[in-house]
Structure 1
Amino acid sequence: MLTATAGTARRLGRFRPDSRRGRKERRGRLGGSSIAAVIGKSPWASPYSEWCLQKGLIQPEPSTPEQMRGHYLEPGIRAWFADQHPEFTVRSGGTYVHVERDYQLASPDALCFQDGVLVEGAEFKTDADAYGSGWGRPGTDEVPLYYRVQVVWYMDTFGVPRWRFGLLDGRLSFREYVIEYDAVEAAILRDAAEDFLASVFWDEMPDLDPHPATYATVRKLHPKIDRDATVQLPPVLAAELRAAVLDVGAAETRKRLVLSKVGTFMGNARRAMHGGYDYALRQLSSKGLPYVKPDNHLDQVPPPDLPDDTTEEAA
């Protein structure tokens, strides 16, 4: 297959990330969205969900309505951006990898050339919030952190000093933001990427975390319900679940983490018990994936007997 280079990146081609070709090319590699997940800065994915995706344990999610909106509006934002920058030849992107670090993947919205030489890149975003949630003053580098991570990764992949954002906000106003390359940030991302991919190779699954994507992944990993199967929760896990349910002021993140732990422990089992009491059931949601439902009567269940060196958290 013929390839072309742009800066320090080699072009793989053009394909949808959720296509068969896209999944194949992305296996063992990390793109801009993936590296944000790896370092825990993505609102859509977690280290745990990204790890399971890399291992082929789950499939990529279909595009959301918001993502499809951005896809359809992208050509208009690109045209606006090109009009603002006659000094550039603005070309649509594709999928690239670093010429030496093959794990470093980038799928930019646009690349900016001068006299045939790549000098910058650009991303085009939409934000339904009239004020652009997470976006600061136009012309600055005040962008949502996960987008900053994405373009620092891209700059490091292509070897360029600058990346721009074209934003269409909820008022249908265009804005531009500029991010300068930071070698320290890039090195941190590369180190995190190499550690993460090593964990994939050695089958070292990340710890569970409170991210919504982690709980969603746990549900995907156990899509069936064995209605005859019951598990006995260990005392510490039973205490965590009971405490999270009874503490009405508990943060949603804490409850979600406990549900991820319980769901992982239950596997495909329908019921979880401890000390002769029901603690949770796995039930089908309207979308067909089981979820963990704590028992309604945990307030009537005595606290589990914990080991001497353990206390029931927030009991």
Structure 2
Amino acid sequence: MTAFNPPTGVLLGTYTPGTPEWEKARAGLCITATEIAAVLGLSPWASPFSLWHKKAGLPTPPFESNPAVEWGNRLEEAVAQKWLDEHEGYGLESTGTWRHRDREWQRATPDRIAFTGRGTVTELLEVKTSPFGDEWGPAGSDELPIYYRCQVQWQLDTLGLDLCHVALLVSGHDYREYVIEYDADDAKVMRDAAQEFLDTVRRGERPPIDGADATYQTIRVQPDGLEDVDVEIPLEDAARYEIAQQQHKATGDELTAAKGILLDHIGTGKRAVVGERRVAYRTVRDGKTYSLSPYTSKDVHA
């Protein structure tokens, strides 16, 4: 293996994902690159509430794989090889789990290290797969979904490196590359947020309950057993629940109608736009509409 001594990285070990050793390296009062977006409330898979329970050693829902995760893992080596084919003079190697030299709680597990023919390592490579590319910018840019940008910046800050390449495969055939440079200001914002988050775990100050599904699923796994008893709850919380139930049905009907109107406008097109602003996009399977999805950023332009 190429000698790799990043400026601020300390290697904890090389672990197989999902093994007890891998889980141990990520457990306890530390923040990994895949967790920092949750700290900031920017992750689509976890919330500050769910991550807080994990770090506090409280019950959390078990990880459940799915076809997207499975095929992402299966295709990782192929996508990495494609990047290598496009970059003469570079080599790639898998690496392990690292912590920051001075901040033991800051950890990262990059996909690959990228080195030159002389064995000099200054860059990282992250490999991603996605069924859709609408959240990603054009190839050659630095426009990533915000949660992946957080991940990459955390990795660079942990190891003390300045550059990360991102290789993306969309829908199994659309290959794109991105280059992300280290941003010291963003890194400081993330470090400060991570330290404050870990302090709330130490103080036992649970984050507020939000509307994320990860939060609800975490609450679901907290009670153990069932007691046939009545529990008095605040009137305002009861009213909020009952009103939300009523609004949910009304909103569901309205959303269905609104989606139908947009699909009728789009016809055989792909995107619904107002001027230069993208509103929603249509995906198709077997020639028929599979879904209509909103653009997540208000500033996405055609």
Q: TM-score interval w.r.t. the shorter chain? A: 0.7 to 0.9
Cα 1:171–1:64 change in 2 (3 A) is closer
1:12 aligns with 2:12: yes
Q: CA deviation at 1:77?
A: 0.7
Report the count of equivalent residues.
247
Normalised to the residue count of structure 1, the TM-score between the two structures is: 0.74
- For the residues of structure 2 that align with 1:63 and 1:100, how far apart are their CA atoms? 34
Percent identical = 38
Report Cα offsets for 1:72-109 as digits up to 9, x if no partner: 11010111111112232211122111111111111111
The partner residue of 2:77 within 75, 82, 90 is 75
1:122 aligns with 2:122: no
Show the counterpart of 1:100: 102
Unpaired segments ≥5 residues, structure 2: 253-302
The partner residue of 1:87 within 61, 82, 89 is 89
Matches within 5 A, 1:12-161: 12-26=12-26, 27-59=28-60, 60-114=62-116, 115-129=118-132, 132-161=133-162
Unpaired segments ≥5 residues, structure 1: 253-315
Cα 1:141–1:152 change in 2 (3 A) is same
Q: Secondary structure at the match of 1:33?
A: coil
Q: CA deviation at 1:224?
A: 2.9
Q: Secondary structure at the match of 1:122?
A: strand
- For the residues of structure 2 that align with 1:195 and 1:9, how far apart are their CA atoms? 22
Report Cα offsets for 1:282-315 as digits up to 9, x if no partner: xxxxxxxxxxxxxxxxxxxxxxxxxxxxxxxxxx
Cα 1:192–1:232 change in 2 (3 A) is same
Name which one, 1 or 2, has greater alpha-carbon Rg. 1
Report Cα offsets for 1:46-82 as digits up to 9, x if no partner: 0010011112212551333311211111010111111
Q: Specify which structure has the bigger relative contact order, considering alpha-carbon pairs within 8 angstroms and separated by 6 or more residues.
A: 2
Structure 2 residue identity aligned to 1:192: A
- For the residues of structure 2 that align with 1:105 and 1:71, how far apart are their CA atoms? 21
- For the residues of structure 2 that align with 1:124 and 1:232, how far apart are their CA atoms? 50
CA RMSD of aligned residues (A): 1.9
Mapped contact 1:18–1:62 kept (Cα < 8 A): no
- For the residues of structure 2 that align with 1:251 and 1:152, how far apart are their CA atoms? 38
Q: Structure 1 residues 181-190 or 91-100, which shifts more? A: 91-100
Normalised to the residue count of structure 2, the TM-score between the two structures is: 0.77
Q: CA deviation at 1:247?
A: 2.2
Matches within 5 A, 1:248-267: 248=248
Matches within 5 A, 1:234-253: 234-248=234-248
Q: Secondary structure at the match of 1:6?
A: coil
Mapped contact 2:6–2:161 kept (Cα < 8 A): no
Mapped contact 2:4–2:121 kept (Cα < 8 A): no
Report Cα offsets for 1:1-41 as digits up to 9, x if no partner: xx974332111112244322122211221111111100001
Structure 1 residue identity aligned to 2:182: Y
Cα 1:247–1:144 change in 2 (3 A) is same
- For the residues of structure 2 that align with 1:45 and 1:64, how far apart are their CA atoms? 16
Report Cα offsets for 1:100-121 as digits up to 9, x if no partner: 1111111111011233332110
